[in-house]
Amino acid sequence: MANRLKVLFLCAGNTCRSPVAEGLARARFGAGGVEFVSAGLAAWRGQAASQGSIAVAAEAGVDLGPHRAQPLDAAALGGVDWVIAMTRAQAQEALSRFPDSSARVALLGLPGVDLRRDPGATGGEEVSDPYGCALGGYHAMAGQIGRLLEGWREIFTSGGEAR
The pLDDT of residue 162 is above 60 = no
Query: The domain that contains 129 carries what CATH number?
Result: 3.40.50.2300
What is the value of pTM for the model shown? 0.95
* Digit-coded pLDDT (tens) for 74-132: 999 999 999 999 999 999 999 999 999 999 999 999 999 999 999 999 999 999 999 98
* Number of independent structural domains in the chain: 1
The pLDDT of residue 11 is above 80 = yes
Active site residues: 11, 17, 129
Long-range CB contact pairs, 150-155, < 8 A, 24+: 151/109, 151/111, 151/112, 152/25, 152/29, 152/84, 152/108, 152/111, 152/112, 153/28, 153/29, 154/112, 155/82, 155/111, 155/112
Evaluate whether residue 161 is within a structural domain. Answer: no
* Digit-coded pLDDT (tens) for 59-87: 999 999 999 999 999 999 999 999 999 99
